[in-house]
Structure 1
Amino acid sequence: MLNKTIIVILASCMLAGCAIPGSTLSTRDKNVVEGEDDSADTLSSRINVYPLTPNLINKLKYNQLVPTTQPNDRLEKQLASYQYKIGPGDVLNVTIWDHPELTIPAGSYRSSEEAGNWVHSDGTIFYPYIGKLKVTGLTVTQVRSLITERIKKYIEAPQVDVNIAAFRSQKTYVTGEVNEPGPQPISNIPLTLLDAINRAGGITKDADWRNVTLTHHGKEEHLSLYALVQKGDLTQNRLLHKGDIIHVPRNDAQKVFIMGSVENPKMVKIDRTGMSLTEALASSGGINEAEADATGVFVIRSTGLANKQEKGSDKPLADVYQLNMQDATSLVMGTEFELKPYDVVYVTTAPVARWNRLMTHLVPTINNFNNLTQGMLRVKDWE
């Protein structure tokens, strides 16, 4: 009779879930709003599961980049034809050979910037005999020709030289995770994105160098310093212009979540060179050999459609990649499988481990029931 009672209690606990301790959030007295297409069958049909194979891994290579041996034709043409355009705030040095009276000497206590011709806010400079001269938007070659043409009236065969003593009118800005953020002056030497990052002291250890933003005339362009520096993709470089903003974000979004039957479930960040599935598992102490199901190592990757609210869309909400680690060669595939931000790595628990875990919670209850039953029998015998 006693054994039958234990079996009944065990079966009841398994069905009701009363043997598993832990907190719960009841929705019994709540207003539960159900979505139109949120049934289990509908959601399951929008989840794709892919067993990991070498061919699939080759197709999924994250940021698979081929080094670009040929130069960036567009950038090379821009650099070859680059000429600095003068703007307000710049300082020009104008020299007319054999006419020192028209050239203001710098002297021992005056720098060329202080002795030069300041470009005023109206875009003009003042020069003897010529008066005001509009120079903004012109190159030094054009200004030289303009001054030569005007001064001919007063000097026979003038030899004019013009150079820029101070570049102050044009700047680009480097912000975010660089060692020395701030403005970078644009000069007669072309300034590229890579040059500006180097001038800013390089990126910090917390920089997300795969998702650098370049804002030009209000339009954003996403570029990858990782592709440029690590993979030699020269198409990621850009010639910078006045007012351009380079922003290097933090790597806060480079998160991967490791859960399930691993030694130390946690959240890790993808470093600069990326993170493979094997590296993620190793960072959490590896799978729990006593509990894990080696056939059930999953990477759950959202497609981002859940936030787009595409009503009636039959596109997948997530892709799930399954790695079978029963074979040692699967570790090679895990090493080649690159994780993406917000991937969830989940290691399932073996059925026998789940049963053992259940029994671990039930045994104290059974022992207490046996002790209670034996006590009741003793009382009955005493009576």
Structure 2
Amino acid sequence: MFRLIPIMLILTLPGCFLAPGMDMNNDNGMTEIELPTNRDGQLVKEKVRIVPITADLIIERESNRRQAINSLPPVDPNKTSYRIGPQDRLQITVWEHPELNDPGGEKIMPELAGKVVDENGDLYYPYVGSMHVAGKTVSEARADLTRELSKYFKKVKLDIRVLSFQAHRVAVVGEVVRPGVQTMNETPLTVAEAITRAGGSTKDSDFANVALARDGKLYKLDVQSMYEKGLTTQNLLLKDGDVLNVGDQKDSKVFVMGEANRQQAIQINKGRMSLSQALAEASGVDFNTSRPGDIYVIRAGDMHPEIFQLDAESPDAMILADQFPLQAHDTLFIGTAGVTQWSRVLNQILPGSFTAIMSQAAMMGM
């Protein structure tokens, strides 16, 4: 009888007092602890709302995703043609006036031929003097130079072409074969063309996670959708100063914790993984020890934490799970059933096997 008194005392303690391991507690739909959160540019501590995964939530987030696609920088049709800039080398040929052309003609080395646009975007030419050409297309520069030379010569006919493109550059970095700086020429440079010039993908490339840095802003591109679904909105025209970063798929993982049959880090394949896929990869939920109503997706979100909860008590919830997309670095946490928590407590605290003690108690008539 006295050997069973500790059992009776333990059973009178609150469940949260001795339950081992992690458990996801919430306070009126909010996290139990305060988390660092970026609020209007300032880091603050606050509790985060736990959002139920419902059909309305999935519709809302899909709508936001499509709006994000539409918020990519628009293509300016006026800037699709190459515009002359500093350090470009131009070859100017004036017909019937050889004295205005490069002396030596074809004997000049290519890297020394033509005239270089200076740092201010100006070009010096005989009779005309200094003429600003930066920001102009070849056709516009030709028209301006023709007009100025016409003040000194009759029926001026000339041609301009860019010998060396140096003014406009983009950088392609990350998981490409040949990362580095690329010069832009008269052919508009798109995301797909820039990646091809860089030698294409490596074995670790994550085309669903491509970032474009432009004018102090960062845009997320899904190049994988462009290749697989023809989503041409992702194939942006690049401009001078852009930095294109192809992500590493080794950094795109989902972490499964709690009462899963297999706790592990799961690789996201081609940027796509749903909640139901992650559960399947983890060999499902352990229904003997878990609390299916408490399946959580925890998303740190670069100081913008989010927590979502799926109530999987009903099999219908798996439809929602299949429609809920996960992101890299998400943590999938499956809650522990209360009975399981108590069983673990008693096995840790009581001497010997809890099951054996309870059997002995039964034999003694308790």
1:190 to 184, 188, 191: 188
Aligned 1:21-170 pairs, distance under 5 A: 43=30, 47-48=49-50, 50=52, 57-61=58-62, 65=66, 74-75=74-75, 78-79=76-77, 82-104=80-102, 107=106, 110-111=109-110, 113-121=111-119, 123-130=121-128, 132-152=130-150, 155-170=153-168
Query: 2:3: which partner in 1?
Result: 6
Over residues 116-168 of structure 1, what are the superposed CA-to-partner deviations in whole Å (9 max), with x where a residue is unaligned?
22223454444455555443343322332333334446543222111111111
Go from structure 1 to structure 2 and tell me whether the alpha carbon gap of 1:109 and 1:140 turns closer, same or farther (over 3 Å shift): closer
Aligned 1:272-351 pairs, distance under 5 A: 272-288=270-286, 290-293=288-291, 295-301=292-298, 318-324=307-313, 327=315, 330-350=317-337
Query: 1:171: which partner in 2?
Result: 169
Q: Distance in 2 between matches of 1:60 and 1:240?
A: 28
Go from structure 1 to structure 2 and tell me whether the alpha carbon gap of 1:47 and 1:151 turns closer, same or farther (over 3 Å shift): closer
Aligned partners of 2:20 and 2:344 also within 8 Å: no
Aligned partners of 1:86 and 1:137 also within 8 Å: yes
Q: CA RMSD in A?
A: 4.5
Q: Distance in 1 between matches of 2:352 and 2:136?
A: 89
Q: Distance in 1 between matches of 2:229 and 2:221?
A: 10
Higher gyration radius (CA): 1
Runs of 5+ unmatched residues, structure 2: 33-47, 358-366
Q: C-alpha displacement at 1:8, in angstroms?
A: 0.6
Q: C-alpha displacement at 1:280, in angstroms?
A: 1.2
SS class of match (1:323) = coil
Task: In structure 2, give the amino acid aligned to 1:347.
Answer: I
Q: C-alpha displacement at 1:92, in angstroms?
A: 0.9
Q: C-alpha displacement at 1:320, in angstroms?
A: 2.0
* Identical residues among aligned pairs (%): 27
Task: In structure 1, give the amino acid aligned to 2:283.
Answer: G
Q: Distance in 1 between matches of 2:261 and 2:342?
A: 19
* Structure with more strand by fraction: 2
Q: Distance in 1 between matches of 2:340 and 2:74?
A: 60
Go from structure 1 to structure 2 and tell me whether the alpha carbon gap of 1:270 and 1:215 turns closer, same or farther (over 3 Å shift): same
Q: Distance in 2 between matches of 1:278 and 1:322?
A: 13
Q: Distance in 2 between matches of 1:64 and 1:275?
A: 15
SS class of match (1:263) = coil
Go from structure 1 to structure 2 and tell me whether the alpha carbon gap of 1:351 and 1:126 turns closer, same or farther (over 3 Å shift): closer
Go from structure 1 to structure 2 and tell me whether the alpha carbon gap of 1:282 and 1:363 turns closer, same or farther (over 3 Å shift): farther
Q: TM-score with structure 1 length normalisation?
A: 0.67
Q: Distance in 2 between matches of 1:232 and 1:99?
A: 51
SS class of match (1:272) = coil
Q: Distance in 1 between matches of 2:213 and 2:306?
A: 30
Aligned partners of 1:86 and 1:140 also within 8 Å: yes
Go from structure 1 to structure 2 and tell me whether the alpha carbon gap of 1:368 and 1:249 turns closer, same or farther (over 3 Å shift): closer
Go from structure 1 to structure 2 and tell me whether the alpha carbon gap of 1:351 and 1:62 turns closer, same or farther (over 3 Å shift): farther
Go from structure 1 to structure 2 and tell me whether the alpha carbon gap of 1:318 and 1:356 turns closer, same or farther (over 3 Å shift): closer
Task: In structure 2, give the amino acid aligned to 1:6.
Answer: R
SS class of match (2:352) = helix
Go from structure 1 to structure 2 and tell me whether the alpha carbon gap of 1:343 and 1:138 turns closer, same or farther (over 3 Å shift): closer
Q: C-alpha displacement at 1:317, in angstroms?
A: 7.1
Q: Is 1:215 the counterpart of 2:214 in the alignment? A: yes
Over residues 66-97 of structure 1, what are the superposed CA-to-partner deviations in whole Å (9 max), with x where a residue is unaligned?
9x9x9x9952xx23663433222111111122
Task: In structure 2, give the amino acid aligned to 1:323.
Answer: A
